[in-house]
A and B are shown apart, each in its own frame.
Chain A
């Protein structure tokens, strides 16, 4: 077990190194001189020189890369060029919107998908199963940000139950903040839940046809008991995989949906940084996103090994 975790951790570290090299190359090497790129064509040479100095661009590529990575590891993400504040501060502030939003959506979609998938599996081949499968097919096809717009039209414009956008901040009270995140989270959760419900259904159906389920029934358990004690846990493994794989979609979705609701999250930070050519912000935020995805993959791998000892030997 320990060996398995260590090899996975090693591969996690290696992935992070390669990813950071790719990001560094894209942002700092390919544009040529980042300083003149950030300031635009009409910049004064003195201003460019000053910025080069500020950004530490006069060192060699190797020292610049090591400085950047070293900074990331100690929580120093550089100083935003446009905001004139440490990027770490900006990111922390924005994460307070993006992270709760992603988790809220993840929670909602899991809470909806697992019972719905179980219900469809129990009703396999009947009208309600077809209706659910049809609805999930539609849910997968709907772009979440468009669904978000529809939600705004219905619940904010027509019914006026929710505000159309904006975020009051957590200081204004937990429930107010959660209310502001509700429509975005629902919009994010719908396609997610559709996929998860389908996975839950087919994985439960798979398990229900296993020999050990027949054994469980033969020893006198009712269908509900056998499902609860034996089927559910096994059926949840593929669902866990999909949740892990979907994490990056969720993150990307959250970033896009923030635009619909004018939420001050990571998404707005990064899109503004792109238009303002604030490469310092772009570089560190992208690294953070990639780090999050790699970390989740690692955690899921380890979670598997805990659940299923057979996996420890593979790879």
Chain B
């Protein structure tokens, strides 16, 4: 137990710090990143520009703050889609476990697993053109089977318990039981999985934007910034290092937080440790 809060704390502080700077960018950034200032292009870090400027003379720190906005928003919305669709499906499957509905939902899940987020993004982009929305949808679809599986697995164990039997005897239907009794009891699992998918979403967004399937210029995202820095890694490696570090810190923070939360919220693991 002693190690767990530390993990949780470090993770929460790392990811909250980046989240805070991204939110702050709505109100204030050191420089305006929508105006180009070619006269100040590719300045090294200084007191004036803490992290220096890019090839358009935009302040790198301001870009990182604004870029975090898109990266985080894409990942969060994708988790929302995954949970919003996946959890009801998982609950439904568990309520009808062993039945044809369960079978159909789980086979459908397996099928979506065969489509990596990148492949979904390729399909959507080929027909609708690239955008941050496509990245959200692609990562969101990828999240659906993950949440469906976790919800179903968690719900199955709850369904066997006595208080559920009592609720059934009291005449409650499957849907009502799922919402009133099952869902609150699997919330822990869903929060932990949500944190993990959040961090995977940040990585996926970065990858998609990097290959041009996500956010499009002039919108900045951490992945986009890496794509633009690609040609300058010889002359100005700083431009590629900064956004990459932002991604690493965010993902590391979320993963530590997820591990910490799991240890904290799952009594089985806690018992196994002691």
Contacts and interface: CB of A to CB of B under 8 A. Distances in A.
A, B bound: yes
Contact of B255 (A141, A153, A253): A141
Among B113, B207, B212, B248, chain A packs the most CB atoms within 10 A around the CB of: B207
Given A11-B107, A152-B233, A274 B244 contact: no
Interface in B18-41: none
Contact of B240 (A22, A146, A286): A146
A260 interface: yes
Nearest to A287: B119
Contact of B211 (A146, A256, A273): A256
B123 to A, nearest CB: 5
A170 to B, nearest CB: 25
**How would you classify the secondary structure of chain A's contact residues: helix, strand, loop or mixed?**
helix
A166 B84 CA distance: 43
Contacts of A277: 126
A251 interface: yes
Contact of A19 (B111, B203, B206, B211): B111
A119 to B, nearest CB: 20
B212 A271 contact: yes
A142 B234 CA distance: 20
Contacts of A138: 248, 252
B8 to A, nearest CB: 14
B116 A145 contact: no
Nearest to A138: B252
A175 to B, nearest CB: 26
A146 B226 contact: yes
Interface residues of B, number: 40
B180 interface: no
A18 B115 CA distance: 12
A30 to B, nearest CB: 5
B256 A137 contact: yes
A255 interface: yes
**How would you classify the secondary structure of chain B's contact residues: helix, strand, loop or mixed?**
helix
Given A15-B111, A19-B111, A146-B244, A252 B123 contact: no
A110 interface: no
Interface string A281-311: 0100010011001100100000000000000
B110 A274 contact: no
Contact of A252 (B116, B199, B226, B251): B116
B226 A149 contact: yes
A248 interface: yes
Contacts of B123: 23, 26-27, 282, 286
Given A31-B127, A145-B226, A286-B119, A153 B114 contact: no
B189 interface: no
Interface in B117-166: 117-119, 122-127
A49 interface: no
Nearest to A260: B230
B110 A297 contact: yes
A130 to B, nearest CB: 9
Interface string A152-188: 1100010000001000000000000000000000000
23 contacts: A11-B107, A11-B110, A26-B124, A27-B126, A37-B127, A140-B255, A142-B251, A143-B206, A149-B233, A149-B240, A153-B234, A157-B234, A157-B237, A249-B116, A253-B207, A256-B207, A256-B211, A259-B230, A271-B212, A274-B122, A282-B126, A290-B119, A294-B114
Interface of B: 107, 110-111, 113-119, 122-127, 199, 203, 206-207, 210-213, 226, 229-230, 233-234, 237, 240-241, 244, 247-249, 251-252, 255-256
9 closest A-B pairs by CB? A252-B118, A146-B244, A141-B252, A141-B251, A248-B116, A282-B126, A252-B116, A26-B123, A293-B114
